[in-house]
Amino acid sequence: MARTRRSIAGRPAMITGAASGIGRGLAWLLSRTGSPVAIADIDEAGLKDAAQSLHESAGSTGPVLTRVLDVRDAADQHRFAAEVREWLSSLPGAPPLAAVFNNAGVAVASSVLDADPGDDEWLRQINFDGVVNGTRAFLPLLVEQDDGVIVNTSSVFGLCGMPYQSAYCASKFAVRGFTDSLRQELRGTGVRAVTVHPGGIRTNIARSARIRKDPTGQGRSHEQMAAEFEALLRTTPARAAEIICRGVDAGKARILVGPDAYVFDALARVTPTHYYDIMVRLEKRLQRGSA
């Protein structure tokens, strides 16, 4: 018999990468529904600001637990999971954990030829190992409850390979494969695994990216490249959070965030080896139209 699916609104959630961007948007949206939120980030100042904004926002909000966390540290992820378990037991009614959002991520821009192995490893440890560590730390709690959802953030670059994004794409394809495999393992249980594929979201990921030089050879500064990238972004973190939570509530296994995500998904399906040629032509047409 099919299980009755409940909304995550008003129920406890854990969110990494919560100091900014989509993570902060999720924390704000869920807290406003009364959800207790355990928010974590390596950015201590940003995390403190995010928590303060939740406390100061208009309307009722749920309890907040903050934790400075480096998602690369598997042992500390397990310690955090234990802290969340204890925190939940202290709340009225000792509510079960409804959702785990493994959302923290970073970017690197480089050609494969000029890639710095240290930069690629830094990215991999955060974008992929961080997701794996968070999943392994919190999954036992969800399995014990036989309820809840693991929501892992991939990207549209986890659907298509893009030039100068080899490390980022590899990490996001890995998140997709890891979560897809987990989903099959959880069949027949009350726990679900969901992959999120955001398109262009207005976050600070481009400005915090590691870029040694302009990989296209045009000599642009980091600031110029970030500004050009940000000019293409259309979806706000708040809107992304709404789409993600609605998708989780609808029982989706994969959530596309933003209109551009649907374009990436369609091109990857229809023309799996030539999608980039089509993207270049579309971009040129859009540039001519806006000239």
Give just the sign of the alpha carbon dihedral 14, 258, 129, 69: negative
Answer yes or no: are the C-beta atoms of 9 and 35 closer than 8 Å: yes
Between CA 255 and CA 275 the distance in angstroms is 20
Please name every residue paired with 235 in a beta bridge, in sequence order, or none if there are none.
201
Tokens encoding 251: 């029982």
Q: Which of 164, 168, 262, 276 is catalytic?
A: 168
Which residue has tokens 């600031």? 223
Q: Is 168 in the active site? A: yes
CA atoms within 13 A on the CB side of 253: 10
Would you name the residues annotated as active-site residues?
168
